[in-house]
Structure 1
């Protein structure tokens, strides 16, 4: 009796932990882990000219990237405080990476996304477990005593080793074991694969399925007789017709498949398998259309809904889930350095995927550029292609060579990213091996948008800074586009420096690819490195609308596809104001999503956590502000609605907007410094122009317009594309959009899923006619008359303003 009571206590505790991790366990679908983490092996290497040890992605016929695994600051920082806070550790043995590894990861992600969409669309209560090792079941040392009383895989000597490709635990239908085979992924255009190859893979899959069934039945054998356990094959690149043909031609294989799946004949067996007919297209695997969901539902009805396990009560279901994903079972994901990383919840997945995306990454092209080391370089490319990273690495090399490095901020909108570059240079220099005579970092602030004379002043200052006949300069977020007020001014700055300083070393970067001065050698970066594919798919529709190079296929999978975009609506009785910025309820809705992700929570023994500093809330409106107070501290203008809503929900907030720029310059400068290095653990609410070049793991983008948009007659489509390019691109991992539902049919927007062309490199060109050229933004109104000349500067423009 004592043992039974102890066992019941363990079950109660595990069930309570599971319901705290998955509060909607009885009503919705959860994937565990929530994201497919791809295997990316590393080797050791060095960044040229720095003498610093890094990890490099193992060269492979299918890859064209070198990943440098450099540490980021702990406690959830998105931006590296400096690039090498930790040594990479001991040399790692080379990890063999075959084409089949890449195919299997891709197929696993493909099927998991489809199953998640199926569960969500049907409102199914189930857990989708993927790649769970038998040995991970009830193997946590802290729960060893409790595990000893329960059936485990080690009790089955013949079956103790292995894994479940997919294990679906359903509230009504019991357990479904799924075996995945990626055969056919590299077939020809007609999607034909040699039948013998398919037959061999299916034969192997059946044996693995039967083994997995034996293990599952053993693991739940103490929970009552007759637990419903079904099996299926996932063949995402083999059609149903192909599979049926293979079975018809191999009588022995047909018998084995029918017996394993409980089918009467080959045709029925095929209906119980999930083939390419039921899944989204590989070239757009994330785009699960209603037609695909209909086919998936048909398969699901054939495989599962014919039987409802009436013995499965809520408690019984949660007890099964608690054993497979509760605290006693290890839920880990692969990691390049062999360290076990546990990821159970969506928040942990965002944190871990964000950490991997924040690792410094170099492509072979970037490494070649640094090896060649040309003196005058303009790096251009879409957001998140590593432009700023290469600038920083080049600056570190110059410093270690003993040269002074001058970091230039040419616009008020580049203050934050320029501050970040300066910070990384200084801390990277102090963290690494100290050269005998290191250089120093100088930081120069100008505003060539509002003061044309700052071009001449910058040239004068920099020429005066020439040392030993040389000058080393870094400028980020540059544009030479003549349609922008500051475009020709950037051109004049670079041209005059090149003329007056014979030994000038100037590396600059920006997104625009037009009107580049001939003095600069242009380098185009096209491989996306900083954002998960789920975020990139939201950015890409804007790429073709402006003079920006499109993304290209990297030839290697991203660390993970990313979580689905969270789409909130500014609509309903509790919502107020024309736009989300003015709505306190929208702020509370964002706060609720942050709570769901566990932002700000302390997770014991888990490095995968999200801090408030990992979050941006971005708007295009210049009306954003916190409480405005007079000299007595009395609030004269309450904070914007979304800011107040976040505060009311207990979220610590920092605001970076135009009002402080106009009325409290000291506070504005302090906020810029803070956001640049994420010094304070707060959510930053900002106009997106002020955080150009910075990134966060979680970004909420608020739809909106200001008076300038109305005055210039900008359509919602144009403002939407601007938000994609300037705000969505600040996100690495989890995107949240908050939009007002359209009254009438509108062009594709952030709420619309777009079907891309079926190519190996996804391209989302939603704009068939080119948009008008970008125009300079309206300067801010002058500050109060009491403001000094120093503080009367008007701020610079956004990175890209579409007319």
Structure 2
């Protein structure tokens, strides 16, 4: 972007170019700005004793004792890693403002309404921008553009002694290419709880009170918006609507009929002739998805919403609004001269305009060190022998890292144990996190402990069990042994699980001073020496991703605890899952891993998110997504990189999806089965690299090799392991893909759908 004083700042055509660079399909589709509604999350500040780390603690707005009144601690620096499990906000002692139940209700309603409006726009292929929570004080307020905007209409020009228009905010402003502008005022009246349960009908008096306030806000917003666009399109149509997602049309009509003064005000504001007509112009619960499934726009819901839309917008076309004028108006509201920011719990406001920026910022918030009250209590109780169980993304590995750090700071050596290649990456990540935490500490203890990483293969080598016992017992110091065992399985029917149980049992018998913390998804057959501690509150992935994982957890019930609700919302709902299809003339092979075209289409979606785009183009915006923010995961045994012989000649070409990604210029790290078999040393180096995100590359791999690791963007490619998946249906494979691949995603999930086989698959090229 050009700097202050450049010609780009004074030329409207250049502003349009900036807008179309941010929103390439501005003239063909619907955009939400910001793309995600960021919630006000009630956090408290807690301290994990013995680690020097404070954490944000999920704190329901009522019914829980405060946890932030703890002795101040000397804050340890954040380890220098994009994927540190110990990441904290820069101001560790700041106590967040108290979040009220009403704030949670308003956040829920705002997100509920935004999701429905976006579904409406997408289903009808509307060309519009949906601006949410537009603060008029942020309009054309960037100092670098002061000269260019000096003569443009501003909200402050309308300020009077009685009304300060520049302090106002519009819940929604829809800028439509054909129909003009719609201003929406949202009221959450009737939403009795912040969670997604069906509300009870509100009292008529409450509805009347909130509608009275909403009409005044609508009229003020209309005055401001008309003024702001007066120089671009003086006669532009500006309509208004009340958004009441938890009030029925019938109730609203009754409320208006019973209050003549309110009815008159609403009819005047909306341009209606009766209470019935005014109610039909408002968007009520009748037209929206149910709160318990607010993200699910059924055909019936979309039909009702479309009917409301046509009635409200009258399907009129404002012929004077050309493409250039439309882009000029959009540029005024979301272009570089206007601040488009979202709040953060610590008071810092971050600019989030695009989907890529939303993924980056939401991913950053989901990566913060956040604990539940249960986890904080567990860490402060500090039991010796524990097995953490629970579905993916519930903070099990985070707890292991914190416990390992406590041991190190107490001077104990920490043994990080991997008993199978599927836990190699998680174990290396834990060891790396512990090492970074110690090295980043400017005042380390005089004699900190050391970190040792142990690798075994319990599945293929029974002798490794005794070897592990021998190796670990040899590490006993002062009668104590401290072990971390992540991605552990103890299922009695599985040979690998039986050998893990044997390891724990023999260590407990041999070392009375054993301290062992294990973690795994399954809670069955936990060794009797370990205390089960279920962790079930999702902490590390957005709800839009969690819903896909939940499908698998619900149906693969054996041995997996279900998720539970903490009563506290996630930082944001997340972006809609992107769905691609392995289908069409250009696609080859039975599965996406074999398909070059799938690689190209995945690359195109990553480019749209700004992956690998480099530096920031706007001030105060989050760091752009890197290639290392992306996992492309499959279970296909066909996945591989180029296989070379000893002379360096390629004897077997890389999988189609890998070639497609490279065709589009993406740097790729491939961890396939053939790579593991033919070049074990390179495979080991690459796993080390990926575990700490050392190199900026997109990782394409079998998902069972990266258990425990997470990325902001995950692409899920269906596929089959010819040995492991024999006898499983496509539906069963999909469930395991969701459990083990989709769960690696924190923010943006991309799923490639594979249609059922109707003819013999073609051969990959």
> TM-score, normalised on structure 1?
0.89
1:453 corresponds to 2:459: no
CA distances 1:258-310 after superposition (whole Å, capped 9, x unpaired)? 00000000000001000001000000000110000000001001111342211
Partner of 1:291, secondary structure, is helix
Instruction: Select the residue among 96, 99, 118 that pairs with 1:97.
Output: 99
After TM superposition, the structure 1 stretch with the greater mean CA deviation from structure 2, 679-688 or 337-346, is: 337-346
Query: What is the CA distance between 1:663 and its match in structure 2?
Result: 1.2
Query: What is the CA distance between 1:45 and its match in structure 2?
Result: 3.6
1:546-561 correspondence runs (5 A): 546-561=558-573
1:102-121 correspondence runs (5 A): 102-121=104-123
Q: Could you tell me which residue of structure 2 aligns to residue 124 of structure 1?
A: 126
> TM-score, normalised on structure 2?
0.93
Query: What is the CA distance between 1:339 and its match in structure 2?
Result: 1.9
1:546-585 correspondence runs (5 A): 546-585=558-597
Q: Could you tell me which residue of structure 1 aligns to residue 343 of structure 2?
A: 334
Query: What is the CA distance between 1:554 and its match in structure 2?
Result: 1.7
- Does the 8 Å contact 2:45/2:67 carry over to 1? no
Q: Could you tell me which residue of structure 1 aligns to residue 751 of structure 2?
A: 737
Query: What is the CA distance between 1:568 and its match in structure 2?
Result: 0.7
Query: What is the CA distance between 1:92 and its match in structure 2?
Result: 2.5
The 3 A distance-change label for structure 1 pair 610 and 72 is farther
1:392-471 correspondence runs (5 A): 392-432=401-441, 433-471=443-481
Q: Could you tell me which residue of structure 2 aligns to residue 20 of structure 1?
A: 21
Partner of 2:344, secondary structure, is coil
1:608 corresponds to 2:623: yes
Query: What is the CA distance between 1:719 and its match in structure 2?
Result: 0.7
- Does the 8 Å contact 2:591/2:718 carry over to 1? yes
Instruction: Select the residue among 714, 722, 745 that pairs with 2:728.
Output: 714
Q: Could you tell me which residue of structure 2 aligns to residue 83 of structure 1?
A: 86
Aligned counterparts of 2:82 and 2:745: Cα–Cα separation in 1 = 10
Q: Could you tell me which residue of structure 2 aligns to residue 137 of structure 1?
A: 139
Query: What is the CA distance between 1:708 and its match in structure 2?
Result: 2.2
Aligned counterparts of 1:64 and 1:79: Cα–Cα separation in 2 = 31
- Does the 8 Å contact 1:64/1:556 carry over to 2? no
CA distances 1:615-650 after superposition (whole Å, capped 9, x unpaired)? 001110122111111222221111000000000110
1:516-527 correspondence runs (5 A): 516-527=526-537
- Does the 8 Å contact 1:413/1:692 carry over to 2? yes
Q: Could you tell me which residue of structure 1 aligns to residue 39 of structure 2?
A: 38
Aligned counterparts of 2:340 and 2:333: Cα–Cα separation in 1 = 9
Q: Could you tell me which residue of structure 2 aligns to residue 534 of structure 1?
A: 544
Q: Could you tell me which residue of structure 2 aligns to residue 757 of structure 1?
A: none
Aligned counterparts of 2:447 and 2:669: Cα–Cα separation in 1 = 40
Aligned counterparts of 1:6 and 1:653: Cα–Cα separation in 2 = 39
Aligned counterparts of 1:98 and 1:690: Cα–Cα separation in 2 = 43
- Does the 8 Å contact 1:55/1:70 carry over to 2? no
Query: What is the CA distance between 1:101 and its match in structure 2?
Result: 0.3
The 3 A distance-change label for structure 1 pair 160 and 674 is same
Partner of 2:734, secondary structure, is helix
The 3 A distance-change label for structure 1 pair 727 and 280 is same
- Does the 8 Å contact 2:45/2:95 carry over to 1? no
Aligned counterparts of 1:581 and 1:465: Cα–Cα separation in 2 = 44
Aligned counterparts of 2:654 and 2:521: Cα–Cα separation in 1 = 33
Structure 1 residues without counterparts, runs of 5 or longer: 745-803
- Does the 8 Å contact 2:174/2:182 carry over to 1? yes
Q: Could you tell me which residue of structure 2 aligns to residue 493 of structure 1?
A: 503
* RMSD, aligned α-carbons: 2.1
Partner of 2:36, secondary structure, is coil
The 3 A distance-change label for structure 1 pair 297 and 71 is farther
The 3 A distance-change label for structure 1 pair 393 and 579 is same
CA distances 1:734-775 after superposition (whole Å, capped 9, x unpaired)? 11111221257xxxxxxxxxxxxxxxxxxxxxxxxxxxxxxx
Query: What is the CA distance between 1:718 and its match in structure 2?
Result: 1.0
Query: What is the CA distance between 1:609 and its match in structure 2?
Result: 1.1
Query: What is the CA distance between 1:215 and its match in structure 2?
Result: 0.3
- Does the 8 Å contact 1:43/1:92 carry over to 2? no
After TM superposition, the structure 1 stretch with the greater mean CA deviation from structure 2, 305-314 or 245-254, is: 305-314
Instruction: Select the residue among 590, 593, 599 that pairs with 2:605.
Output: 593
CA distances 1:5-64 after superposition (whole Å, capped 9, x unpaired)? 989952111111001111111110000000111112545442221123444456621779
The 3 A distance-change label for structure 1 pair 670 and 47 is same
The 3 A distance-change label for structure 1 pair 359 and 22 is same
Aligned counterparts of 2:219 and 2:658: Cα–Cα separation in 1 = 56
Instruction: Select the residue among 645, 651, 665 that pairs with 1:650.
Output: 665
The 3 A distance-change label for structure 1 pair 70 and 565 is farther
Partner of 1:217, secondary structure, is helix
- Does the 8 Å contact 2:59/2:373 carry over to 1? no
Aligned counterparts of 1:53 and 1:328: Cα–Cα separation in 2 = 38
Q: Could you tell me which residue of structure 1 aligns to residue 200 of structure 2?
A: 191
- Does the 8 Å contact 2:129/2:175 carry over to 1? yes
After TM superposition, the structure 1 stretch with the greater mean CA deviation from structure 2, 307-316 or 508-517, is: 307-316
The 3 A distance-change label for structure 1 pair 143 and 553 is same
1:373 corresponds to 2:374: no
Query: What is the CA distance between 1:565 and its match in structure 2?
Result: 0.7
Q: Could you tell me which residue of structure 2 aligns to residue 352 of structure 1?
A: 361
Q: Could you tell me which residue of structure 1 aligns to residue 3 of structure 2?
A: none
Instruction: Select the residue among 211, 227, 235 that pairs with 2:220.
Output: 211
The 3 A distance-change label for structure 1 pair 323 and 682 is same
- Does the 8 Å contact 2:411/2:449 carry over to 1? yes
Aligned counterparts of 1:62 and 1:296: Cα–Cα separation in 2 = 37
Aligned counterparts of 2:352 and 2:96: Cα–Cα separation in 1 = 25
Aligned counterparts of 1:172 and 1:643: Cα–Cα separation in 2 = 42
- Does the 8 Å contact 1:587/1:643 carry over to 2? yes
1:472 corresponds to 2:478: no
- Does the 8 Å contact 2:198/2:291 carry over to 1? no
Partner of 2:567, secondary structure, is coil
The 3 A distance-change label for structure 1 pair 274 and 608 is farther
